[in-house]
Amino acid sequence: MDTIARMAKAQEITFDSLRPPAPWMDETHSIWRKSVRAFVDKELVPHIEDWEAAGEIPRDIYPKAAEAGLIGMGYPEEYGGAGTDFDRFHGTVTSEELARMGAGGVSSALMIHGIGLPPVMVGGSEDMKREIAPQVLSGKKQISLGITEPGGGSDVAQLKTNAKKSGNGWVVNGSKTYITGGCTSKWLTTAVRTGGEGMAGISLMLIDLEAEGVSRTALPKMGWWASDTATIHFDDVFVPPENLIGEVDRGFVSIMANFNGERLGMAAQAAACARVCIEDAAAWAQQRQTFGKRLADHQVIRHKIAAMCQKVWATTAMLDQLTWRVQNGEQPIAELAMLKVQATETMEFCAREAMQILGGAGFIRGHRVERIYREVRVMAIGGGSEEIMRDLASRQLGL
């Protein structure tokens, strides 16, 4: 047995061993990781296949997640949150531990408020925050984000859904699509056009999805089966004036700021999914026998695993550095865009290589790698496609 093979045998390759140390993480992050992992392993993992088949997770899981502090992490206690003694690295830990399930639909369904609620907390009135936040953070109600439209996605400045003044309120017409939680959410934080063309005419409004004139169409998907996804139609939907989030025609900046946080979280999730792929592939390679020896004893397999580790460690180092910068008040837009691409490409590479190592076993339903393989594309497209991210980065760099 050569040196590399002996080293691989001596050190078990696990989800935890594949996470390089972050100098900005301390004991509080370790404690939080243990807490989230205990909740995930007890309340979520045993039910994944049932929820995948059902196309949604049951409502009684949300209050349990709220009680565990998962839903309210980082939100003020006065609004029903778990407190603000959390930093960006606690958020990274949360994304990683949820990704460890290898079931992106479960985590996206449970945590969709993470992109729907922040604009309310930042730009909503005090009355709005006190009405909406406690219901969401207790797990009683759900809130989603509505940006993408049937005619356009990442090019937010060209959105068509319009809101026209009517009395003291607004009347909204148009539609949003690919909305995670769109079938089950009570509210939608919605980007609408209140002014002229371009980014200067966009506003954010909170729309009650049970209001007259709202209809929803469920969308079957390639992956993320446990989260419902919908196209939402607005036909003369009245929105009262108090449901305006922030200032009229000033919503574009809030949307972009929200995207930065979403992309950071998606990068953490993608890198963690890649670690899952390596863990399962390495475990299989060490027990599967081919041609009289373990898969791990074939040089080509060892090289695959080494290449996967190389990409994960590089991506995680970039993730941690940018997390630290954002935590310290920076908004490195170009770097966050490139991180999102780096992370999803790493996820895709590791999912493919893990599938090759697992062979037929990885193709069978119920395997983490099988689910992750189906979820690669939504991660690479959602939150900003690779092409849009690279173009954004190049423009931010002054090209």
Residue 8 lies in a domain: no
**How high is the pLDDT of residue 155?**
73
**Do residues 228 and 343 share a domain?**
no
Angstrom distance (rounded) from CA 321 to CA 204:
31
DSSP structural state of residue 208: E
Residue 344 has pLDDT above 60, yes or no: yes
**Do residues 281 and 231 share a domain?**
no
For all residues of the chain together, what is the average pLDDT? 93
Per residue in 297-341, pLDDT (tens digit) is 899 999 999 999 999 999 999 999 999 999 999 999 999 999 999
**How high is the pLDDT of residue 8?**
46
**Do residues 241 and 258 share a domain?**
no
**Do residues 190 and 272 share a domain?**
no
Angstrom distance (rounded) from CA 69 to CA 73:
6
Residue 9 lies in a domain: no
Residue 301 lies in a domain: yes
The fraction of the chain above a pLDDT of 70, given in percent, is 97
Angstrom distance (rounded) from CA 322 to CA 330:
9
Tell me the average pLDDT across 232-261.
92
Angstrom distance (rounded) from CA 323 to CA 80:
26
Residue 21 lies in a domain: no
Other beta carbons less than 10 A from residue 292's beta carbon = 6
Q: How open is the CA angle 144-145-148, to the nearest 5 degrees?
A: 135
Residue 5 lies in a domain: no
- One-letter amino acid for residue 189 of the chain: T
Based on the structure, what is the number of domains in the chain? 3
**Do residues 34 and 72 share a domain?**
yes
The CATH number covering residue 289 comes to 1.20.140.10
**Do residues 245 and 257 share a domain?**
no
Residue 11 lies in a domain: no
Least confident of 6-15, 228-237, 282-291, 356-365: 6-15
Residue 6 has pLDDT above 80, yes or no: no
Other beta carbons less than 10 A from residue 214's beta carbon = 16
Residue 4 has pLDDT above 60, yes or no: no
pTM across the whole model: 0.92
Residue 3 lies in a domain: no
List b or e across 175-201, with b for residues whose CB sees 16 or more CB atoms inside 10 angstroms.
bbbbbbbbbbbbbbbbbbbbbeeebeb
Residue 389 has pLDDT above 90, yes or no: yes
**Do residues 266 and 385 share a domain?**
yes
DSSP structural state of residue 383: T
Residue 10 has pLDDT above 60, yes or no: no
Q: Is 26 exposed, middle or buried (0-12, 13-18, 19+ CB in 10 A)?
A: exposed
| Sequential DSSP letters for 237-285 | EEE-GGGEESSTT-HHHHHHHHHHHHHHHHHHHHHHHHHHHHHHHHHHH
**Do residues 64 and 193 share a domain?**
no
The CATH number covering residue 226 comes to 2.40.110.10
Q: Which of 138, 165, 191 is the last residue of a domain?
A: 138
Tell me the average pLDDT across 255-274.
93
* Structure confidence at residue 245 as a pLDDT band (50, 70, 90): very high
**Do residues 325 and 232 share a domain?**
no
CB proximity list for 62: less than 8 A, separation 6 or greater = 71, 110, 139, 140, 142
Angstrom distances, CA of residue 353 to CA of 275, 278, 295, 384: 12, 9, 13, 24
Angstrom distances, CA of residue 197 to CA of 127, 146, 157, 193: 31, 19, 8, 8
**Do residues 236 and 259 share a domain?**
no
- The domain in which residue 45 lies consists of 27-138
DSSP structural state of residue 328: T
**Do residues 177 and 239 share a domain?**
yes
289, two tokens: 């026998």
Q: How open is the CA angle 262-263-268, to the nearest 5 degrees?
A: 100
Per residue in 364-386, pLDDT (tens digit) is 888 999 999 999 999 999 888 99
**How high is the pLDDT of residue 1?**
43
Per residue in 53-112, pLDDT (tens digit) is 999 999 999 999 999 999 999 999 999 999 989 999 999 999 999 999 999 999 999 999
The CATH number covering residue 61 comes to 1.10.540.10
- One-letter amino acid for residue 207 of the chain: I
Q: Which of 138, 159, 177 is the last residue of a domain?
A: 138
Angstrom distance (rounded) from CA 161 to CA 178:
15
Q: Which of 138, 155, 181 is the last residue of a domain?
A: 138
Residue 191 lies in a domain: yes
Tell me the average pLDDT across 276-290.
92
Per residue in 188-212, pLDDT (tens digit) is 999 999 998 888 899 999 999 999 9
Residue 157 has pLDDT above 80, yes or no: no
**Do residues 258 and 203 share a domain?**
no
